[in-house]
Structure 1
Amino acid sequence: MSPRTPRRVRRPGPKPARPALRDVLALGAVGLRARRARAALSALGIAIGIATMVAVIGVSHSSTSDLMARLDRLGTNLLTVEAGEERDGTPVKLPKSAVAMVERIGPVQQATATGHVDARIRRSDLVPEERAPGVTAQAARTDLLAALNAEMARGTWLNSANERLPVTVLGSVAARRLGVTAPGEKIRMGDEYVVVVGILAPVELVPTLDRVALVGFPAARTYFGFDGHPTMIFERSPDATVEDVRAVLARTVSPGAEHGVKVSRPSDALAAKAATDEGLTALMLGLGAVALLVGAVGVANTMIVSVLERRREIGLRRALGATRNAIRIQFLTESLLLSAVGGAAGAAIGSAATLGFARFQGWT
């Protein structure tokens, strides 16, 4: 019997050491520092995409927050009734008691009105009538300011002491067109000179009032032949009852001719603006995503080129015992560092842009 051949026992070789996280980061940073221009351009692509998305979202949210704050301040419970025309083209005249009729609707909290005054507005007699500055005259009740939550920029509003006198309150645009900068100045209204006692701040819910000169109802009748029929009525009621009041307003102020009046909710225009801003934000986010994708492709291209250019380095590291996984981690770390630098820079730029633009606009 032949002697048994001794079996060879394979001893496991030494396992390759895993590099520490600090070493991996340092090695990845060395690769980026060696090709600074290429790394900077790749990071710039990421930064542009991130900055665009951050700025778009930030500016959009700031704008929406400001708009919602304005809506809360101004209220969404204001309804307006405007006299129009019948189907045959006949002008509709709201009754003189239209405000009292609206006030009899149960949920109504406030009701007021303005009326058209047939008088040309000029700065003085030296201005020809055909070169009037595009300012109209309207009669207003003394409770109009409170009903609209409007504010005075300068001077005082119409009150029981001056509503019978030849005085006027100008809208913000009207004052600018007439060149009136302070109360106490006179303007020509029809054949009469009237004294400006106040200038309104912009009326956000009813911007048409920015371009008018307002006089009291009694003064309009006395000096300008106003017939006392309102052309626009403003009403406020609790939010929960706005739609119910809206359904009966036209029949209340113009019985039998409700088709000739227009009932609207001014705050709907601001809400529509918010919806438009959201659509624009979605579009800009899409553009930001495209920029981000381009930046990502740039990083991938940079790393592919880097691998091809550094084959000798990779071969040397493999000869010294580096595993494939170690090589893979090295280049993955470089790409992650590149993306992190670009992302941080983009977030900082986008945040700074949002902050600066919001402060410039006076937004949240």
Structure 2
Amino acid sequence: MTDTRTPARRGKLSPARLGPRDVLHAGSSGLRGRPVRVALSALGIAIGIATMIAVVGASASSQAQLTRQLDRLGTNMLVATPGDSMFAGEKVKLPEDAVGTVGRIAGVEEAGATGLVDASVRRTEKIPEEENGGIQVVAATEGLLKVLRGRTADGTWLNKANGRYPAVVLGDVAARRLGVTAPGGQVWIRDRYFTVIGILAPLPLAPEIERSALLGWEAARKLLGFDGHPTSVYERSTDASVEEVRSLMAPTIDPRSPQDVKVTDPSAALQAKAATEGAFSSLMLGLGGIALLVGGVGVANTMIISVLERRHEIGLRRGLGATRGQIRVQFVTESLLLSGLGGLAGIVLGSLATGLYAYVGDLPWVVPPWSAAAGFGATLVIGTVAGLYPAVRAARLSPTLALHAP
């Protein structure tokens, strides 16, 4: 009896699928066999990423330092000084009671003043008068240091007791220029010696005080003929009332001629510096981008050479059943691993460079997380782009021709 059953149809064979572990193993095989070439290719990527992260990190560290200074010193201090007179040759003077009137403005918490004294300060009377080192002699009110949020690095500040006698407090720059390292020494002002009772710490918001020799208000009047008119009035107000106080200071100090009073914000310079700290960084970021592009070209070149050198391997894999898609995935993975290694190395090098910059400059070490994420993301994009053409070229190789190629 004849069997009339239809023979079973033979199913179409499908290629084996590669799991993530298999893809990583196949993609890293080329890197393991050429460690020197891999290291040199990854170096280009690493330099580009390190440059970009170091630039961003250095800028962020500087900005963090400026922000800390602003937080500590505050942005609520205003300074009133004589403006320009409407009449040529006429010198504008602030009223003697300017500190008291400013202190009565709503929102003002503290007020102090300095008054320029027509005298020079020298280490001894034997030094010529014209060689004063750029140091000015000023009278200071007792509340000035509190308004400035300053402190003495050594010694004490002016008060009701010592402010009546020939005692002087030196700004830190003035002390260095005069060669005074500690309180107890003496300096020559006009025709007599004054005893140094204190040396101030740096005052970023008042650099003019750093270059001054400060006397008590009463001592300056009695001993040096100071006329009592302040040349700078400093005030601290609540943060919410800064703008209102700014608008009221000039008419309060001089109701008749408010245009003769100039009001400034000493923290504006620090704020502007913090805002523009990263302006110059754009150039360095551009150089880092160019280095990154060159590194990407190096990766592409490495991958193309790798395809040419591994034609037998590609042909053998194709002959054993690997599909074109699997070959493409292998070489794109290899390119991604190569770029990823360079990216990780660049992040480490850039972070270390930022740390060294921060350590030398006594700054906080800040590396924005977005810069590391963006840098590593850029390496993956470059690795993908750099590996696409070599991967497509490898997938198009004929297994027969690849195995017979010399």
TM-score, scaled to structure 2: 0.83
> Is this contact kept in 2: 1:192–1:223, CA < 8 A?
no
Unaligned runs of 5+ in 1: 1-5
Partner of 2:42: 43
Name the residue aligned to 2:59: 60
What RMSD in Å do the two structures reach over aligned CA positions? 2.0
* 1:84–1:91 CA contact under 8 A, matched in 2: no
Alignment-mate amino acid for residue 226 of structure 1: F
Partner of 1:220: 220
SS at match of 2:290: helix
Distance 1:277 1:187 in 2: 40
Q: Secondary structure at the match of 1:193?
A: strand
2:331 corresponds in structure 1 to 331
1:296 aligns with 2:296: yes
- Tell me which residue corresponds to 1:357: 357
Cα pair 1:142 1:216 within 8 Å, conserved: yes
Report the Cα offset of residue 283 of structure 1: 4.2
Residue in 1 that maps onto 2:118: 118
- Per-residue deviation, residues 292-338 of structure 1 (Å, max 9, x unmatched): 23322322232123223322332232223222122112211211111
Mapping of residues 86-105 of structure 1, within 5 Å: 86-89=85-88, 90-105=90-105
Q: Distance in 1 between matches of 2:56 and 2:7?
A: 69
1:308 and 2:300 matched: no
Aligned residue in 1 for 2:196: 196
Identity %: 56
Q: Which amino acid aligns with 1:176?
A: R
The SS at the match of 2:196 is: strand
Structure 1 residue 171 corresponds to structure 2 residue 168: no
State the alpha-carbon separation in 2 of the partners of residues 184 and 290 from structure 1.
59
2:139 paired with 1:139: yes
CA–CA distance in 2 between the matches of 1:66 and 1:331?
46
CA drift at 1:215: 0.4
User: Does 78-87 or 352-361 show the bigger shift?
Assistant: 352-361
Q: Tell me the CA shift for residue 13 of structure 1.
A: 4.2
In structure 2, the partner of 1:76 is 75
Task: Report which stretch shifted further, 311-320 or 44-53.
Answer: 311-320
**What is the CA-CA distance between 1:79 and the residue it aligns to?**
0.3
In 1, the alpha carbon distance for the partners of 2:7 and 2:326 equals 32
- Cα offsets for 1:136-176 (capped at 9, x unmatched): 10000111111110011111111111001111111111011
In structure 1, what is the Cα distance between the partners aligned to 2:137 and 2:83?
18
1:352 CA displacement: 1.8
Query: Which residue type is aligned with residue 121 of structure 1?
Result: V
Alignment-mate amino acid for residue 347 of structure 1: I
Contact 1:145 1:151 in 2 (8 A): yes
Which deviates more from structure 2 when the two are superposed, residues 245-254 or residues 210-219?
245-254
What is the distance in 1 between the residues matched to 2:9 and 2:177? 99
SS at match of 2:81: strand
The answer to whether 1:162 aligns with 2:152 is: no
Amino acid at match of 1:328: R
CA shift digits 1:73-118 (9 cap, x unpaired): 1111100001133033321011111111112212211111000011
Query: What one-letter code is carried by the residue in structure 2 that aligns with 1:40?
Result: A
Q: Which amino acid is the alignment partner of residue 21 of structure 1?
A: P
Q: Deviations over 1:233-282 (max 9, x none)?
A: 00111111111111121122123333232210111111100111132344
Count of residue pairs the alignment pairs up: 360
Task: Give the aligned residue type for 1:213.
Answer: A
**Mean CA deviation greater in 76-85 or 169-178:** 76-85
Query: Which residue type is aligned with residue 63 of structure 2?
Result: T
What is the distance in 2 between the residues matched to 1:257 and 1:11? Answer: 106
1:76 is paired with a residue whose SS is coil
Change in Cα spacing, 1:97 to 1:335, as seen in structure 2 (3 Å) is same
Q: Which amino acid counterpart does residue 215 of structure 2 have in structure 1?
A: V
Task: Tell me what 2:233 maps to.
Answer: 233
Q: Separation in 2 of the partners of 1:141 and 1:120? A: 20
Which residue of structure 1 lines up, in the alignment, with residue 16 of structure 2?
Answer: 17
| Distance of aligned partners of 1:8 and 1:298 in 2 relative to their CA distance in 1, 3 Å threshold | farther
Task: Give 3-state SS (helix, strand or coil) of 2:259's partner.
Answer: helix
SS in 1 for 2:158: coil
